[in-house]
């Protein structure tokens, strides 16, 4: 029987791939920089040599740690975005899964089979030309070369943000205590079914992963289970019949957030360095970001069948 989990909360929606990679990086960086600062200020004993360093030098060390973290999270963010595109069936077999060598090998084999010369002698731009040929002549080559990579990325994404039908939410669950202590917020994640994908046939539907920042709630999300009958569809349309179902559950209305609670969203979004949340461009842009970070009251509903 399907289970509905609903939660009425003040939230700000965030790109899931951006959020999970930046939280992972921050969860690793923050304890290091905090330890560095505290040891410099409060270190005692003959072995506490860090206390003798000028603050400017300690700041430089911290800047280097931050710079390294930014580089890592940017690379990880790109990889996670590719995973989410595969999960949503929005990837490209040629652009996202095939190496240049694989593409050239496939086209060369096709040319050879038809008694033609190799791609090297027929195409000016070897890789782009080979991709164009494969797109124009898709009936001549097999798609199997990219399915393994595609399935692997889908698996990686669900490990990262949570599997379909599971309450465990991957890295968000792993770092939930850090998120609460560091920012005073929580992350609510769910997968929305969108219908058919665009990258291939044979996969049943496509999903979009939705991530929301929300204030911690003392009340657990309301859960309801209900009997569900599907529409009977026979070969003839007139043999189908509609069904209707209802599910009623109590919903706790949260109090409006205080200014301090609203500021938590802005502080988390900007301090994580998420794309599009960079301060200092101009006062006008900073003000726009502050408005975008104001949480809105939403009813979040997750259905697991």
Kindly report the three-state secondary structure assignment for every residue of 233-302: CCCCHHHCECCCCCCCCCCCCCCCCCHHHHHHHHHHHHHCCCCCCCCCCCHHHHHHHHHHCCCEEEEEEE
Structure confidence by residue, pLDDT tens digits, 17-40: 999 999 999 999 998 888 888 888
- State yes or no: pLDDT of 62 exceeds 90: no
Task: Say what the pLDDT of residue 24 is.
Answer: 94
Report how far residue 130's alpha carbon sits from residue 104's, in angstroms, rounded to the nearest whole number.
6
Q: Where are the domains of the chain?
A: 3-304
- State yes or no: pLDDT of 1 exceeds 80: no
Average pLDDT across the chain, whole number: 78
Nearest to 202 by CA among 155, 150, 159: 150
Percent of the chain with pLDDT over 70: 67
Structure confidence by residue, pLDDT tens digits, 275-304: 877 776 678 888 888 898 999 999 888 887
- State yes or no: pLDDT of 227 exceeds 90: no
Task: Say what the pLDDT of residue 202 is.
Answer: 47
SS (H, E, C) the chain: CCEEEEEEEEEEEECHHHHHHHHHHHHHHHHHHHHHHHHHHHCCCCCCHHHHCCHHHHHHHHHHHHHHHHHHHHHHHHHHHHHHHHHCCCCCHHHHHCCHHHHHHHHHHHHHHCCCCCHHHHCCCHHHHHHHHHHHCHHHCCCHHHHHHHHHHHHHHHHHHCCCCCCCCCHHHHCHHHHHHHHCCEEEEEEEEEECCCCCCCCCCEEEEEEEEECCCCCCCEEEECCCCCCECCCCHHHCECCCCCCCCCCCCCCCCCHHHHHHHHHHHHHCCCCCCCCCCCHHHHHHHHHHCCCEEEEEEEEEC
Structure confidence by residue, pLDDT tens digits, 123-145: 455 666 666 666 666 544 555 66
Beta partners for 209?
191
162 φ, ψ to 5°?
Answer: 120, 140
CB 267 within 8 A of CB 10: no
CB 87 within 8 A of CB 199: no
Output the CA angle 39-44-48, nearest 5 degrees. 65
Structure confidence by residue, pLDDT tens digits, 155-199: 999 999 999 888 889 999 999 999 999 999 999 999 988 765 556
- The predicted model scores a pTM of 0.78
CB 296 within 8 A of CB 10: yes
Task: Say what the pLDDT of residue 245 is.
Answer: 66
- State yes or no: pLDDT of 226 exceeds 80: no
Residues 237-251 as b/e (b if ≥16 CB within 10 A, e otherwise) read eeeeeeeeeeeeeee
Percent of the chain with pLDDT over 90: 28
């Amino acid at each position: 029987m399907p289970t509905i989990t609903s939660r009425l909360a003040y939230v700000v929606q965030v790109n899931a791939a951006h959020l999970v990679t930046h939280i992972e990086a921050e969860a690793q960086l923050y304890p290091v920089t905090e330890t560095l600062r505290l040891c410099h200020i409060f270190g005692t004993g003959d072995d506490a040599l860090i206390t003798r360093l000028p603050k400017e030098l300690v700041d430089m060390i911290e800047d280097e740690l931050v710079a390294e973290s930014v580089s890592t999270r940017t690379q990880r963010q790109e990889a996670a975005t590719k995973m989410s595109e595969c999960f949503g069936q929005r990837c490209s077999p040629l652009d996202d899964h095939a190496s240049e060598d694989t593409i050239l090998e496939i086209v060369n084999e096709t040319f050879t089979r038809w008694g033609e010369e190799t791609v090297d002698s027929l195409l000016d731009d070897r890789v782009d030309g080979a991709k164009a040929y494969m797109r124009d002549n898709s009936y001549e080559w097999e798609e199997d070369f990219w399915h393994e990579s595609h399935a692997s990325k889908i698996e990686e994404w669900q490990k990262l943000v949570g599997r379909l039908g599971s309450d465990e939410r991957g890295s968000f669950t792993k770092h939930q205590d850090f998120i609460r202590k560091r920012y005073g917020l929580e992350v609510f994640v769910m997968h929305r079914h969108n219908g058919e994908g665009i990258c291939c046939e044979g996969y049943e539907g496509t999903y979009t992963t939705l991530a929301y920042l929300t204030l911690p709630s003392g009340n657990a999300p309301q859960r309801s289970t209900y009997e569900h009958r599907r529409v009977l569809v026979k070969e003839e349309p007139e043999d189908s019949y509609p069904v209707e179902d209802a599910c009623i559950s109590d919903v706790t209305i949260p109090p409006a957030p205080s200014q301090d609670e609203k500021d938590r969203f802005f502080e988390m979004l900007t301090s994580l360095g998420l794309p599009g949340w960079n301060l200092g461009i101009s006062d006008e842009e900073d003000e726009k970001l502050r408005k975008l970070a104001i949480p809105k009251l939403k009813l979040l509903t997750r259905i697991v069948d």
